[in-house]
Amino acid sequence: MGKNKLKIGEFSRLGRVTVRALRHYEEIGLLVPEIVDRDTGYRYYAVGQLQKIQSITTLKSLGYSLEEIRDLWDDDSHFPSVESLEQKIMKCEEELAVLKERRRMLRAVVASQKKLHKMEKVYFEALPAITVASHRTMIPSFEDLGRLCCEVIGPEMARLGCECPEPGYCYTIEHGGYKPQDIDIEYCEKVTRKGTDSAIIQFKDIPEVPLAACLKVFGPYDRLYQAYLDLFAYLEKEGYSIVGAPRACYVDGVWNQEDADKWLTIIQVPVEKTIY
């Protein structure tokens, strides 16, 4: 056998394609060995055929199918026309649009799964009956809640001699539903006993809540709105009915933590299981 003839393994290595691919190219008539030994079945390729295998590899990388490549070689053109290449560019644009839409859909699914994972952190517990010192007012936004507590509610509770048991428990109720601005808010803080009402503070006995769905929310208060929506959707999906005003229980906040991402609020929603 001449020195310019290569066994299939050698040709595979030099052409940087697999033996399996070479056998497939032979089957479809795209690249046929120059010699096939009838006795041994060995296949031999000419060194000159390396140029063709490189051309096949290049055209495949440009998006041409093996059938299209075979047609090019059958027509002796060996390389696509400018018009053909421009058509491939248009096809790439179409495929990019499809991939971008698929990416958008995948991101939406990921976001949905993250919400589902977050909802897996929902837990249920009873909220005991308590006595609270209550103050109801309108505030422009939740950024004003800290000022309200420190400058208005806290000093008035101290003046009235309120005693707050450990661990402390305070929460707000947003009358008329949660919204980010112009909030009709009622602040409630657990106290050991009722005092005498004032123009700022009223004392209330809050009955027990047999079952509340609870969700921890870390971060600034502007995250609460979406957390409420997610929790409400979860409760509806799981067959729970809301039977009381949702509470936002403030565990850690601006009064104790400068880093807003470390603030902790627990949403507590009185619920009961829907019976069909």
pLDDT in 10s for each residue of the chain, 276 residues: 556 789 999 999 999 999 999 999 999 999 999 898 888 888 899 998 999 999 999 999 999 999 998 888 887 777 888 998 999 999 999 999 999 998 988 887 777 666 655 556 889 999 999 999 999 999 998 778 878 888 899 999 999 999 999 888 999 998 887 677 888 999 999 999 999 999 999 999 999 999 999 999 988 887 888 888 889 988 998 899 999 999 999 888 777 788 888 889 999 999 998 765
pLDDT of residue 276: 57
CA atoms within 13 A on the CB side of 135: 21
- What one-letter code names the amino acid at 113? Q
pLDDT of residue 179: 72
| Contact (CB, 8 A) for 30 and 56 | yes
**Does 5-79 match 123-273 in CATH topology?**
no
pLDDT of residue 40: 86
pLDDT of residue 13: 92
On whether the 123-273 domain is CATH 3.40.50.300, my answer is: no
pLDDT of residue 129: 95
pTM above 0.85, yes or no: no
On whether the 5-79 domain is CATH 3.90.1010.10, my answer is: no
**Residue boundaries of the structural domains of the chain:** 5-79, 81-112, 123-273
Ramachandran region, residue 194 (left: φ > 0; alpha: ψ -120 to 50; beta: rest)? beta
pLDDT of residue 116: 55
Q: Classify burial at 126, counting beta carbons within 10 Å of its beta carbon; exposed 0-12, middle 13-18, buried 19 or more.
A: exposed
Crossing angle (nearest 10°) for helices 49-61 and 8-15: 50
pLDDT of residue 117: 57
